[in-house]
Amino acid sequence: MQTNPTRTELLQYVKDAVTGDEFSRATFAGATRGSACEWVRVVVRPVELRGARQVQFAYQGAKKVVTRNFPLNEVEPPLDELLGHGFAGVHISLRTEEIDIRTSRKGRVHFGRRKMGEPREAVVEPHNRVKDVPLPEGRADRLLEVMGIATPDGHVRASMRAKFTQINEFLKQLRHALDGTDLERLGRPVEILDCGCGSSYLTLAAHHYLNNVLGVPARVLGVDVNDEVIRKSTDRADRLGATGLNFECRRIGTTEIAADIVLALHACDTATDDALAQAVRSDARLLLSVPCCHHDLNRALQPGAGAGVLRPVLRHGIMLQRTADLVTDAFRALALRIMGYRTDVVEFVATEHTPRNLMIRAVRGGPLGAAVKPGFAGDRPRGPEEAAHIAEYIEMKRFWGVTPYIEKAFGEPFQNLVTARPL
């Protein structure tokens, strides 16, 4: 096939792969070019429906998933529609090879093909299958057993049901976020830093899921100031016999690891800001943060300045606390956008499992996947979108009459950027 095929040639190539006997799975993901597409990822796989083979399209958006099934002779229109959206990456898994189709910002199409060491078994899954979760229930899993979540035969303990759900929801977010990066094709282990790892349930789960389920080589370092939880985490890692999984008792921001992924899952109060600063300093490609205990801004937030109109809200302690939580995380997400990260805030898990259920999800790069160099240098060129984010940040500070801790964490160059200037 030629290097830069026409749309018709590309459609025929993908259609032949999807309808062939060796087809296993295809993923359309990555920033779309010039398209108002509501889907961030589409997974295509063969299924068996009423005894006949069909192709299932699972359209994954920011808040919903839509699944549609098509007979083999009707897959061309939905495939043509997907290609029209301009997804940056298409990955096709066949029984004997892996195929990558990457589209550059200038519209050039690049193909990569890799033969499998051992042919995988071609499986057409039944349509009515067990719910797809990263670590399913009812299957023996050494990790879940060591963490005390499940029995040796895979039965989830009633007292650990919420933790089991939390782990799976986190791993879904990790899987989703990875599709917006090139971390699975680094050619070396992915370096992960977990800031404020605590009891390390999610740290251990991330290491296990990447290495043993997805087959993505990864090394993980968990840090926490509590030496007791570090000792217990190290003991669990030893019982698992895991390699590339280490824990250290230290403060967030004191390690020089060049992390590809930074996790900050329930790091207390301003420790979350220190973890975000660590991610930016590391030029981390991906950040997943679930903030906790927003005490700093809660103490500073007052119904003055532009926020005086909110006095009826802020005079009540519980409403002040919840407002401060949201304002703090809004400052954090905006600061990351200023530093060149595509950032959104999503629901991590239902509130019945944990009240701290907002996740800040950030991927390095511009809104269309452009390579944007983050960091703390104040003299690099800044585009109009970044200037708009800076203006939003300054206006938020004026309205609320506060200076969030994220400024201290990011340091003087960032503070200079977001200092209000005379009009």
pLDDT digits (tens, 9 = 90+) for 379-401: 444 577 888 999 999 999 988 88
Q: Using pLDDT thresholds of 50, 70 and 90, give the confidence band for residue 1.
A: very low
SS3 at position 102: strand
pLDDT digits (tens, 9 = 90+) for 271-329: 999 999 999 999 999 999 999 887 888 778 776 656 778 888 888 888 888 888 999 99
Q: What is the mean pLDDT of residues 154-169?
A: 90
pLDDT beyond 90 at 143: yes
Tokens standing for residue 369: 């996947």
pTM for this entry: 0.66
DSSP 250: -
How far is the C-alpha of 259 from the C-alpha of 352, rounded, in Å?
32
Nearest to 301, CA basis, from 315, 286, 291, 288: 315
pLDDT beyond 60 at 373: no
pLDDT digits (tens, 9 = 90+) for 110-139: 878 887 666 555 555 554 444 568 998 888
- Residue 29: per-residue pLDDT: 82
Q: What is the mean pLDDT of residues 72-94?
A: 87
Q: What is the mean pLDDT of residues 192-211?
A: 93
- Residue 332: per-residue pLDDT: 95
- Dihedral angle over CA of 309, 313, 316, 317, nearest 10: -100
- Residue 367: per-residue pLDDT: 37
Q: What is the mean pLDDT of residues 26-34?
A: 76
Q: What is the share, in percent, of the chain residues with pLDDT greater than 70?
A: 84
pLDDT beyond 50 at 378: no
What domains sit in the chain, N to C, each tagged with a CATH number? 7-126 (no CATH), 142-417 (3.40.50.150)
How far is the C-alpha of 246 from the C-alpha of 240, rounded, in Å?
12
How far is the C-alpha of 236 from the C-alpha of 201, rounded, in Å?
10
- Residue 304: per-residue pLDDT: 61
Half-sphere exposure for 166 (CA within 13 Å, toward CB) = 21
Q: What mean pLDDT, rounded, does the chain reach?
A: 83
